[in-house]
Structure 1
Amino acid sequence: MIRDKEALEKQRRDVREWVEKVAIPNEDRVAELNEVPQDLVDDMQARGFFAWAVPEEYGGLGLTTEELVLMAFELSYCSVAYRARVGTNTGIGSESLIVDGTEEQKRKYLPKLAAGEIVGCFALTEREAGSQATALKTTALKKGNHYVLNGSKAFITNAPISDLFTVFARTDPSDDSHRGISAFLVDRDTPGLTVGPAYKMMGQSGSPVSEIHFENCEITPDRLLGGEEGVGFKTAMKALNKQRIHLSALSTGPAMRMLDDAAKYSLERKQFGHPIGDFQLVQAMIADSHVDVAAARTLILDTARKRDDGIDITLEASMCKYFATEMCGRIADRAVQIFGGSGYVADYSSIERFYRDVRLFRLYEGTSQIHQLNIAKKTLERIGKTGTVRI
């Protein structure tokens, strides 16, 4: 749902201009420093990038899902590090609080997240609890007037720079199902919370990811998200449903960038006296890539509109995440092929970096294989009830 087309179009053009004039020229600098420099962060704060998804009553812009997706297409056209720096505040790092936080919790944290004054992160995954999130071992046990957190989280985006951690822990050790899991809001300076060093990763330089450790970390009951035990897993799924649409859009921006760069290169690079874009096998890769991008955009926007209309999009969100992330990987591979040696050598193009960066998309927020299972399950349920996938 787009509330004001003219205003949104202006905002979209402003983001595109910033990406082209500021973000892309600084991509090598971000990669070399392995961080988004503070001057660029300040610029993104001033432009309201951190505020996109936060409701207006808490200092945000309150973008609808469709509006957020359109902004994500634009911002993710540049290095993955930029959208990662903003993305937790506009997505998974704030969404649990938005959907299930108490009024007091929202008023305490959401204005700061919207302003970019603090960074939030989503601490669900553990080394032995990834695709099976209900297998998490971190506990939050009641002791007097406090909860005591013990355990570790792994692969948490922005953990090294986060100020607010949405932590999922088991409050009922006797219940190993999702009903024993609760969510908590934990500040970085809470005694007993330590953040590990940033991982050395295959790609995504400038996007810090690390482990989080809790050792007898005492938190007060007012940090229980929503003030209710046992609903943390439901909160996580609500947040992930929206975030999977968001991530799908964030996976489509890099695909569009790689397609643009590869197509431009095919018009410039000559072999046998002709631009390689004249050759049918190169044209086939460009055609397949353009169809992939167009299909992803259409699926994502359709799903975003359904969510804005209050329709259950659990199936469609999985379809978006699965298709868009796999699509992005296919285009990365084709782009390297079109660039040839110049696509493999970092000195000559950004394709080598994107090829490594986008590989992670198919792993986090549900691997492709988990989404295939989700899609099949939901499809069979629908067929069993209605006899057709037609709507």
Structure 2
Amino acid sequence: MSVKLRLALLCGGLFLLGGAILLATNYFLVRTALPPTEAGPPPGQTDAELIAPAPGSSPAVGSAGTDLSQYRQEVLQTLIVQSGVALAVMAVVALALGWFAAVRMLRPVQEVVATARRLEADSLHERIRMPGPRDELTELADTFDGMLDRLAASFDSQRRFVANASHELRTPLATQRTMIEIAMARRNAGADLRDLGERLLVMNVRTEALIEGLLLLARSDRGLEHEEPVRLDEIACAVVDSRRQAAAQAGVRLESRLLPQVVSGDPVLLERLVVNLVDNAINYNHEGGLVTVSTGGEAALEVSNTGPEVPADAVSGLFEPFRQLRKQPTGPGRGVGLGLSIVASVAKAHGGSVRAVPRRGGGLEMAFSVPWRVL
């Protein structure tokens, strides 16, 4: 049972117990006040006057002692029945009042719960700020607000660090790439130097991709700075055309079924989402495989690919940063483990979600959905 129901039952039970004790006390007091059956009539009053019937009723029958005993029994029985009915009615009233009191008392707690459910990484600015006198509930709300202040400061500090580190690392990486290319272009550069330079350039490209991924992830985690109607089918068409050569090199057939699909969001982030999904479908595939990109269906965007078997319990971990099921994809380039985590972050920034389902025979079916569509 919920706390609200338990509190209402507790209030009703306590009232019922108190009422039962009060009625029992009243019963014994009335019983004591009634004249005993062996006692005579009060001074100045005869037995006939004590048991005299009410006007219109049948006259009493029997002796005075018998009628007095019957009168006493009827009074006590009537008291018990009426008290029981009154107690039952008041028990229902007590439960209703207990429920009302529980709702009023737990309303501040419900506000805390509602605020906690609404909170996300991009909405940590919300606060409860409960008004009213200083008590345990307002202290709970103030403590929760203080925790949100600390969380917001921690998230902002983390985002600034990632963004600043990404920007600061771009310059030395670009300088390093230029120096390697100049060294490889010299006339006296031998085969060993050229081979070393090519390896360094590959590592440099992977490092730049990692930095770019971290920067994009930090940007998407901050939420959308602006929104506009975006033709998702046109973005998908451009991405598919740009990836046909990479798919051909990997021996993968790339197909598309693009129906008009307009969503509200950031075109740069949405393009990155489509690019990462298509690249992931090409890289983690097998020769002779198939990648299908579609829009305008049940989901805003669907990307399906053949490939190795994907365990169902490993699907949720695919969207975590730096998580890869296989270190060596079959595609033309290795990833850095941020592709699908960026997809999940971009989908969340648009108020949507991305879902991955293992295909029968191997591969995955990815679906990007948004709760609203601009048609």
TM-score by length of 2: 0.22
Decide which structure has the larger Cα Rg and report it: 2
